[in-house]
Structure 1
């Protein structure tokens, strides 16, 4: 969606996700957040697709965070064991999003 609507958007937030569309030539403020213990997100795909993001994108890796703790939907098959609480992971996520929105 962001690829076709980047004129209407000012930013994109990726929570344990990555873009497969080329956004590198856009003015979007892109924030990518994922946990260091995420066993669901394909980290190799995150790395391979970084070049599709604008040069000024921000990436935050929450130490000890996993995939499931971005929401409240329980454990996910193949996910890593979080070493940080759900509350802490979500707090750090909200802070990063709030900082982006303030820009």
Structure 2
């Protein structure tokens, strides 16, 4: 993983909050991110496409839904940076997490066994 590209991904507010929300919730679909971040679906999808291209997130399909989670194969240093960022700044996504809790039409998910 390229160090500069990693930090460029984190430098954008939408991408940073998306990564932190995904890490906090373990996985999220586009509709959950659009609701939590109060952004349009095309904007969220563009940012997720970039994060997927840079291999920070991976997706899985379940019916009509596509769920995103942090790529377990990113380097350990990158995992630690994301984890430390979340633990020490959870208040920066507090409103977004609350929106997720209050979201009435969240898709139900079935976690897949590895």
- Judging by fraction of residues, say which structure has more strand: 1
Considering the TM-score relative to the shorter chain, is it more than 0.5? no
- Judging by fraction of residues, say which structure has more helix: 2
Shorter chain as denominator, the TM-score bin is under 0.3
Give the TM-score normalised by the residue count of structure 1. Answer: 0.27
